[in-house]
Amino acid sequence: MSTQLHKNFTDGQVKSLFEKYSKKEIKLNYILQMLKIKRRRFFELLAKYRKDPDSFSIQYERKTINRKISKDIERNIVKALEIEKDLIENKAIPIRYYNYSYIKDLLEQKYCQRVSLPTIIDRAKRNNFYFLRPKRKAHDREVITNYPGELIQHDSSHHLFAPYAVSKWYLITSIDDYSRLILYAVLVERETTWEHILALEDVLLKYGFPLAYYVDSHSIFRFVQGRDSFWRNHYKLTDEANPQWKQVLEDCGVKVTYALSPQAKGKIERPYRWIQDRLVRTCYRENIRLIQEAQLILNHLVQRYNYRIVHSTTGEIPYIRFQRAIREKRTLFREFRISPPFKSVKDIFCLRVERMVNSYRKVSINNLELKVPGAPLHERIQLRIIPDKESGVSEVRFWHRDKFLGMQKAKNSDLNLVQF
Please write the tens of the pLDDT for every residue from 344-399. Answer: 999 999 999 999 999 999 999 988 999 999 999 999 999 999 999 899 999 999 99
Judge whether residue 248 has pLDDT over 90.
yes
> What is the phi-psi region of residue 128: left when phi exceeds 0, alpha when psi lies from -120 to 50, beta otherwise?
left
pLDDT higher than threshold 50 for residue 236: no
Rank 3-17, 145-159, 198-212, 353-367 by mean pLDDT and report only the highest. Answer: 198-212
pLDDT digit string (tens) for 267-293? 556 677 889 899 999 999 999 999 999
Check residue 15 and give its pLDDT.
Answer: 87
Distance CA 150, CA 178 (A): 7
Report residue 238's pLDDT band, with 50, 70 and 90 as the boundaries: very low
CA torsion angle 123 127 133 134 (round to 10): 140
| Residue of 152, 163, 232, 239 whose CA lies nearest to 200 | 152
Mean pLDDT of 179-186: 96
**What is the model's pLDDT at position 231?**
43
State pLDDT tens for residues 27-50.
888 888 888 888 888 888 888 888
Q: Write out the CATH class of domain 152-327.
A: alpha beta
Q: pLDDT above 90 covers what percent of the chain?
A: 62
Confidence of residue 93 (pLDDT cuts 50, 70, 90): confident
Q: How large is the average pLDDT for residues 112-118?
A: 92
Per-residue pLDDT at 182 exceeds 70: yes
At 144, is the pLDDT very low, low, confident or very high (cuts 50, 70, 90)? confident
Alpha-helical regions (H) of 287-360: 291-307, 318-327
Backbone angles phi, psi at 37, to 5 degrees: -130, 165
Per-residue pLDDT, 229: 47
What is the overall mean pLDDT for the chain?
87
pLDDT of residue 58: 83
Q: Say what the pLDDT of residue 140 is.
A: 46
Banded model confidence at residue 327, pLDDT cuts 50, 70, 90: very high
Q: In terms of Cα–Cα distance, which of 321, 298, 309 is closest to 185?
A: 298
